[in-house]
Amino acid sequence: MSTGPGAISDPAFPASSRRPDAIKAIPVRHPWRWVAAVVVLAFAAAVIYTFAAAPGLQWSVVGTFLFYPEILRGVLVTLELTAIAMLIGVVLGVILAVMRLSANPVVSSVSWFYIWFFRGTPVLVQIFFWFEIGSILPYIHIGIPFTSLMWIGTTNQIVTPFLAAILGLGLNEAAYMSEIVRAGIISVDTGQTEAAQALGMTRVLVMRRIVLPQAMRVIIPPTGNETISMLKTSSLAYIATVGELFFIQKEISNFNYDIIELAIVASIWYLAMTSVLTFGQYYLERYFARGASRQLPPTPLQRFRRLLFHAHDPVAMGPFEPPPVYAPHEERRL
Amino acid sequence: MATPMVLAESVHKCYGRLEVLRGIDLTVAPREVTCIVGPSGSGKSTLLRCINHLEKIDAGRLSVDGELVGYQQRGDKIYELPDREVCRKRAEIGMVFQRFNLFPHMTALENIMEAPMRVKGEPPKAVEERGRSLLDRVGLADKVDVYPNQLSGGQQQRVAIARALAMQPKLMLFDEPTSALDPELVGDVLDVMRGLAQDGMTMIVVTHEMGFAREVGDSLVFMDGGVIVESGHPREVIANPQHERTKSFLSKVL
């Protein structure tokens, strides 16, 4: 299928000989749109100016601390927390979702109970719980049953603040992820499972090769959402004294009293990180849409190029564009 | 007489309190094409699904190629088959669905190669060769790398047939393979099935295509209300139905 745009017509009837010229009409004027745009812009500008030009705000302080080594280290820890907690969330979430759909009533009840518990208590409390676990469980024994092999350590040695935050964030996330994964699994047509079973595939194989790859299309958008949410929720790790972005900026402002300035520094970094994630999610979705939609949506870059070079070309911009047949693994030509 | 490919004796199947199959007796010899017709809800599809271990029967005996379906007899006790055994048996039976059920995230060739590689563990090279020749056989040699949603219904169904054949089954089940197709696409699919029958494949075809049944079928079974009302040679059943219900059904579909 290497045919390009315009290939929908029958080759026996060349389109050019029959298709009349595109209609060139004078567009309808929309004066109120302009009025609305001006009002909204003016209001937005006023709000931004009020804050940006606030007499007590020292932008120079924001500039000084934006790339301060401690702040950068905080950014790194935030990214670590997010990545590890999401990894635990996704892996455990898939396991919980499969358990939830299991035919074994004990297994599915355990999953239900887990979700009920971890979704029903605040993350902040959960992080705090792990952080303080040493006070009720001073020692941890790890041994192999029926042997004398045994390892004992103090809980505070093992459950560091970072691990406490990871446990709190990750275990909580797993509860949410499992519901997302379950929704994805349920969304796959049962005919797919039947066809795979009819070919002799085992349950595990059906899940891994047929159902989960198709469930990904439903799973990815909310997972991206969760990751972005996790990036910000990780700031709760400050309660466990983990040196992530929020904790660091708070430490600095406790010292120099430039509270708003440092909050702005942190906000800029959070915004930057979530922006990158949003971008990544878009490409991930495109990848898993293969075979699902005939025509993949253009990437932001392609859309931008099209806006620049084809803004006045009704064929490239407007609804007249014939749907080109999408060839797999081949960039759509403009 | 050789072992029948499919032997059903008084097969019963219930969904809850609804009895879908109420005593089916059926024999399908190897290399024979059996067509099953009947109104919807008569249990035709359920019978196919039972033969392919997708459903367990509740009473009676059902065996494929001399082995019980879903159960195992040792002494005078009947044991349920473990999942792994069920999968092994399903791998020997090909099934084609009304709604095609191709895997949308795989190309035509990947659809065909999936099971031979993952289930039978055959080497990719040999499977790919067989996949390409199967696609050629169903007239889709140029659609190797195309995803299912870029194919017409008729093309999808032919890929689905090739996918089932790639497992080199000893029995092919067709569950209304042309019912979801535009009329102009039905012919291509029936041509492929006709070719299969000529090559000696044992087939059970649930269909509404009476022309196909008359021309290709070795026997025609008319089902209604979960029982086989009438069966025999297609031409005889169609030309000279014995039962009232067969007569009224045929008068509507012919």
Tell me the C-alpha distance between A208 and B117, whole Å.
Answer: 14
Judged by a CB distance cut-off of 8 A, whether residue B105 touches chain A is yes
Query: Measured between beta carbons, which residues in chain B are less than 8 angstroms from residue A214?
Result: 103-105
Strands in B227-232's sheet, in edge-to-edge order, are: B93-96, B171-175, B203-206, B33-37, B219-224, B227-232
Query: Measured between beta carbons, which residues in chain A are less than 8 angstroms from residue B94?
Result: 198
For the record, the structure tokens of B130 come out as 């067989």
What is the structure's pLDDT at A4?
A: 45
Judged by a CB distance cut-off of 8 A, whether residue A195 touches chain B is yes
What is the structure's pLDDT at A129?
A: 94
Residue in A closest to B89 by C-alpha: A200
Buried b (16+ CB within 10 A) or exposed e, A191-203: ebbbbbbbbbbbb
Q: Which of A199, A205, A211, A287 to mutate to test the interface with B (most CBs of B within 10 A)?
A: A199
- Judging by DSSP bridges, how do beta strands B59-64 and B6-15 pair with one another? antiparallel
pLDDT at B155 over 50: yes
Query: Measured between beta carbons, which residues in chain B are less than 8 angstroms from residue A189?
Result: 101
Judged by a CB distance cut-off of 8 A, whether residue B180 touches chain A is no
Binary contact (B83, A203; C-beta < 8 A): yes
Residue pair B227/B221 in contact (Cβ under 8 Å)? The answer is no
Judged by a CB distance cut-off of 8 A, whether residue A2 touches chain B is no
For the record, the structure tokens of B160 come out as 């689905």
Q: What is the number of other CB atoms lying within 10 angstroms of the CB of residue B214?
A: 17
What is the structure's pLDDT at A6?
A: 46
For the record, the structure tokens of B141 come out as 């040699």
- What is the rounded average pLDDT of the residues B156-162? 96
- What is the rounded average pLDDT of the residues B41-52? 93
Judged by a CB distance cut-off of 8 A, whether residue A199 touches chain B is yes
Q: How many residues does chain A have?
A: 334
The nearest CA of chain B is from the CA of A152 a distance in Å of 43
Residue pair A269/A245 in contact (Cβ under 8 Å)? The answer is yes
CA distance readout (Å), B246 to B210, B219, B222, B250: 13, 15, 7, 6
Q: What is the pLDDT along chain A (334 residues), one digit of tens a residue?
A: 444 444 455 555 555 567 888 888 888 899 999 999 999 999 999 999 998 888 888 999 999 999 999 999 999 999 999 999 999 999 999 999 999 999 899 999 999 999 999 999 999 999 999 999 888 888 888 878 777 777 788 888 788 899 999 999 999 999 999 999 999 999 999 999 999 999 999 999 999 999 999 998 899 889 999 999 999 999 999 999 999 999 999 999 999 999 999 999 999 999 999 999 988 888 888 877 766 665 566 676 777 777 766 655 544 444 444 444 444 443 333 3
Rg of chain B on CA atoms, in Å:
18
Element (H, E) at A155: helix A155-158
Query: Measured between beta carbons, which residues in chain A are less than 8 angstroms from residue B89?
Result: 200
Residue pair B171/B204 in contact (Cβ under 8 Å)? The answer is yes
Picking from A200, A288, A292, the nearest residue to B115 by CB comes out as A200
Binary contact (A200, B94; C-beta < 8 A): no
pLDDT confidence bin for B75, thresholds 50/70/90: confident
Percentage of the residues of chain B whose pLDDT score is greater than 90:
85
Buried b (16+ CB within 10 A) or exposed e, A121-142: eebbebbbebbebbeeeeebee
What is the structure's pLDDT at A56?
A: 87
ipTM, 2 dp:
0.92
Query: Measured between beta carbons, which residues in chain A are less than 8 angstroms from residue B157?
Result: none
What is the sign of the dihedral through the CA atoms of A293, B152, A195 and B135? negative
Query: Measured between beta carbons, which residues in chain A are less than 8 angstroms from residue B151?
Result: none
DSSP A276-287: HHHHHHHHHHHH
For the record, the structure tokens of A91 come out as 């892996």
Picking from B91, B118, B147, the nearest residue to A291 by CB comes out as B147
Judged by a CB distance cut-off of 8 A, whether residue A145 touches chain B is no
What is the structure's pLDDT at B48?
A: 95
Backbone angles phi, psi at A333, to 5 degrees: -85, 150
DSSP B131-164: HHHHHHHTT-GGGTT--GGGS-HHHHHHHHHHHH
- SS3 call for A329: coil
- Secondary structure (H, E, C), B94-135: EEECCCCCCCCCCCHHHHHHHHHHHCCCCCHHHHHHHHHHHH
